[in-house]
Structure 1
Amino acid sequence: MRRRRLGTELRRLREAANLTGDQVIERVGWASASKLSRLENGRSRPDLRDILTLLDLYEAGPEIRDELTTITNGAGDIRRWLRTYPVMTTRQRPFAELEAGCAEIREYSPVIVPGLLQNQAYARVRIASFLPLPSGSADPEKAENEGPETEVQARMARQALLTREVEPPRYFAVLEEAALGRRSGPTDVIRKQLVHLCDLAKLPNVTIQVLPRDVKIADWYLPHTGFSLYRFPDPQDPEMLAIEGITTNLMQDDRDELSRYTVVFEWLQAAALTPDDTLTWLTDAVGQVSGGSARPASNQGQAKPPIQRSRRTGRLSEQ
């Protein structure tokens, strides 16, 4: 986020100076024409000397120089940030980077409890379920160093932000009822995960809501995928949208996309159980799982065979 913010400001200053990218490269004497593009798009770790060179060229004022110098120091010191985590992996790092500086996180999950809410047993089952899939990694050393147990520990390390003493982020989650069903893992694992959710739901900065399977969302809206929204303390930092995939994660700050997903999240919150009712639901679910009985599905009745369409008339009303 620091790199994105820095890149946006550098592009704005260049345009205000009426300079093209090629003109900047020529005047500062950089050998690579893509260096400026990577900086402006937040795709490379900034070097303070390079940033000061650009600020001199753009004749930036003292206030913006101080601001961008501070941002550059924060964006470039990756090692110091990583030292705050006992363990981190390539797969967990992009989300840890987003979460670390957040003021607010909102997540919707249709089938899996979000990583920040998982206990160790549940996380271990979720990560182990990926093992039969090809990793896609051509680096055997990385594959060995970032094994399943390392991934579990990295996920646990990420969760420390919810209970940190200094300004923990406000966290909101809407979970589909199916995400807490028995397809998620062994009975004992599900029970412990439900207990863990009950404990987290009592934190003052955490709000969890369960979305019943048969509830109507807005005007019969159906969510297409799970997603996460991140907002940061500095209003100048762009909000972020993240969608986690099996091998590829989508992360973007497009305002139109963020607006759409924000509206969807508000619809989901309005349709879900209230936080108090959710805590009651979770407590009841713990008892039912412990007792060995499945939670009854809402509005579950006798299944009826579908009416076959008449081949002679072909009328859709007879389906």
Structure 2
Amino acid sequence: MPPAVPSPILRRRRLGNELRRLREAAELTGDQVIERIGWASASKLSRLENGRSRPDPEDVGLLLDLYGAGAALRDELLVITEEAGDMRAWRRSYPVMTQQQLGWTELEAGCAQIREYNPVLVPGLLQTEGYARLRIISANAAATESAGPSTGHDPETEVKARLARQSLLDRADGPEYTAVLEEAALGRRACPPDVLRDQLAHLCELAILPNVTLHLLLRDTRIGEFYLPPTAFSLYRFADAQDPETLAIEGGFIDVMSTEATTVNRYKVAFEWLCSAALSASDTLTWLFTATGRLTETATSSTAAPGPTAAPAQRRRQTGRLTER
């Protein structure tokens, strides 16, 4: 299982924010800090404060001495420094990981709450193996067509890495997860009927987890005063209240992340509007279960041998597990 602690990237952000706050409280400029400590490069402090480099405990200790940090705060920040530098141990918690999936994994680790909306896709944390494979292969094909850079991994490795991320939803201390799914994202345009059937069945299973809430937004549902979400987005709130809430906008070929409070709050309001317009969690589960049953019946009637009892028997085998659960 992935660790319950935040990723090293988040620890670096937290450390950088604290170091900047302490420097400003001490009324010191970056140049003054560099001069007093005797560092050769001014960029060293900038990288630390912006969370762009792995912090050295000795360097952090020098800064804390200069800023006159109290004993309790000093101990706390030195622990965070150790966590911020331990990328290798953190990565070992995932059996397979790729650079393409790593950015999302770093955001998801240590989350107390994740909220997601996507107008055309099932979010990555909810995808089945077959659905994920189609998404990755089609994205790679588009990159190849445009002569874009390769991810450096074959599709199967990317699929395994994406599935490895999903284990956080099954953790006892997993985050509270809420997603708004568009009806259009669950249509036959997305994937072949057999893949779609498995994806719908998987969503049924996830929807009954205590920490997972799914809402379905029907195709013709009006949102507020005809509000239209401009893009897919995800909102992350972390277990450590000192880690800033983060917005991630997934654009397919480029992703944007922000911790700017005004921007994050706007998307929080938009997500509330989406949840209010969408079906309730219980009605969503009913819709998903019915849609799964329809696809199962279609597949059964097209493959079962002729006979008056063949199709009903096959239907019971396909849907019985979900009914029991």
- Tell me by how many angstroms 1:201 deviates: 0.3
Matched, 1:150 2:157: yes
1:72-83 aligned at under 5 Å gives the runs 72-83=81-92
- Tell me by how many angstroms 1:246 deviates: 2.8
Matched, 1:181 2:190: no
- Tell me by how many angstroms 1:103 deviates: 0.6
Amino acid at match of 1:17: A
Runs of 4+ residues deviating >4 angstroms: none
Equivalent position of 1:223 in the other structure: 229
Deviations along 1:153-203, one digit per CA (max 9) or x if unpaired, are: 0010000000013x1111000011011111111110000000000000010
Q: What is the CA–CA distance in structure 2 between the aligned matches of 1:250 and 1:131, rounded to whole Å?
A: 20
- Tell me by how many angstroms 1:290 deviates: 2.5
Q: Aligned with 2:282: secondary structure?
A: helix
Q: What is the CA–CA distance in structure 2 between the aligned matches of 1:246 and 1:57, rounded to whole Å?
A: 45
Q: 2:98 aligns with which of 89, 93, 96?
A: 89
Q: 2:241 aligns with which of 212, 235, 246?
A: 235
Q: Aligned with 2:184: secondary structure?
A: helix
Equivalent position of 1:206 in the other structure: 212
Q: What is the CA–CA distance in structure 2 between the aligned matches of 1:154 and 1:228, rounded to whole Å?
A: 19
**Is the CA contact (8 Å cut-off) linking 2:231 and 2:250 kept in structure 1?**
no
Deviations along 1:39-83, one digit per CA (max 9) or x if unpaired, are: 111111111111111111111110110111111111111111100
Q: Structure 2-normalised TM-score?
A: 0.86
1:130-149 aligned at under 5 Å gives the runs 130-134=139-143, 136-137=148-149, 143=152, 146-149=153-156
Q: 2:110 aligns with which of 96, 101, 110?
A: 101
**Is the CA contact (8 Å cut-off) linking 2:231 and 2:251 kept in structure 1?**
no
1:1-319 aligned at under 5 Å gives the runs 1-134=10-143, 136-137=148-149, 143=152, 146-165=153-172, 167-292=173-298
- Tell me by how many angstroms 1:206 deviates: 0.3
- Tell me by how many angstroms 1:216 deviates: 1.1
- Tell me by how many angstroms 1:134 deviates: 2.8
Q: Aligned with 2:229: secondary structure?
A: coil
Identity between Structure 1 and Structure 2 (%)? 63
Q: What is the CA–CA distance in structure 1 between the aligned matches of 2:295 and 2:169, rounded to whole Å?
A: 27
Q: What is the CA–CA distance in structure 1 between the aligned matches of 2:260 and 2:52, rounded to whole Å?
A: 16
Q: How many residues align?
A: 287
Q: Structure 1-normalised TM-score?
A: 0.87
**Is the CA contact (8 Å cut-off) linking 2:200 and 2:288 kept in structure 1?**
yes
- Stretches of structure 2 that go unaligned for 5 or more consecutive residues are 1-9, 300-325
Change (3 A) 1:15 1:92: same
Q: What is the CA–CA distance in structure 1 between the aligned matches of 2:149 and 2:230, rounded to whole Å?
A: 28
Q: What is the CA–CA distance in structure 1 between the aligned matches of 2:161 and 2:193, rounded to whole Å?
A: 24
Deviations along 1:191-229, one digit per CA (max 9) or x if unpaired, are: 000000000001000001110011111121110011000
Amino acid at match of 1:103: A
Q: What is the CA–CA distance in structure 1 between the aligned matches of 2:240 and 2:260, rounded to whole Å?
A: 17
